[in-house]
Amino acid sequence: MEQILFDFFESAANANPNPKVLVSPNKLDRWELCVDKPVVIVDYDLRWPTLYEEEKGLICKTLGHRIRAIEHIGSTAVPNLGGKNIIDIMAGVDNIDEADECLLLLGSAGYGDVSKVPQPDDAEWFYCLGKSLHIVGCHLHLVKYNSEHWKKHIIFRDFLRKNPETAHAYFNLKKRLAAKYETDRLRYTEAKTTFIESIIENTKHSCLGVDSYRINYILRPI
């Protein structure tokens, strides 16, 4: 089954010789910040949930009422799922003005803006901030609360939490893709994005009342 998954999603990536055509240039600005670093997938670390909770407490103390909600997303948020050694956190705000205010305050918590510049035509994802937690990295995504971007990340995370066999297949897929595209983060991301989109699409269509919800743009890296 895992070999079938790998072959299918790898073929989807190879079908397009230039991965950039799938994503508008303004979104690539944020991706390309780290493309010079190799893709490294590690086994699940039992410390990840604790590190998230500690960082969540610091973020909430720093930002207070300015954020509507905060979530642990990405592979490190799924028990027993390995991934890049980076804790991904998603904080929801109402608009870009609140995101700007949060950006200034988060400097005192050790965060720096790694999203290069805000994108005026992106109404859902405002900033990506980064910091080092000594043993792992941490990315804090300031996004529009309850937007499509917000919902998609939660849907994918929750599906993997409830389906450990799929999560295990996804982990093995990522390891094989990382070995193949170690120095090409864009190709690696494109290959696994097909898997991510298929999960979200199927989950959305299986949920009552959301059949009209369409996946119509590429999910950013998880």
The tens digit of pLDDT for each residue in 24-83 reads: 333 433 433 444 578 899 999 999 999 999 999 999 999 999 999 999 999 999 999 999
H/E segment holding residue 138 = strand 137-144
Residue 103 has pLDDT above 80, yes or no: yes
In a domain, 215, yes or no: no
How many distinct structural domains can be found in the chain?
Answer: 1
In a domain, 222, yes or no: no
The residue range of the domain holding 190 is 2-206
In a domain, 219, yes or no: no
8-22, 36-50, 108-122, 153-167: which has the highest mean pLDDT?
153-167
The DSSP symbol for 125 reads E
In a domain, 150, yes or no: yes
pLDDT of 193 reads 85
Residue 111 has pLDDT above 90, yes or no: yes
Closest CA to 171 of 1, 79, 41: 41
SS (H, E, C) 168-206: HHHHHHHHHHHHHCCCCHHHHHHHHHHHHHHHHHHHHHH
Residue 203 has pLDDT above 70, yes or no: yes
Residue 219 has pLDDT above 60, yes or no: no
* Share of residues in the chain with pLDDT > 70 (%): 73
The tens digit of pLDDT for each residue in 153-182 reads: 999 999 999 999 999 999 999 999 999 998
pLDDT of 168 reads 94
Q: Kind of pairing, strands 137-144 and 125-132?
A: antiparallel
Residue 5 has pLDDT above 60, yes or no: no
Non-local CB neighbours of 161 within 8 Å, separated by 6+ positions: 77, 78, 79, 167
In a domain, 58, yes or no: yes
* CATH (domain of 34): 3.30.460.10
In a domain, 217, yes or no: no
In a domain, 213, yes or no: no
In a domain, 211, yes or no: no
Tokens representing 113?
């803006």
Q: Is the pTM above the cut of 0.85?
A: no
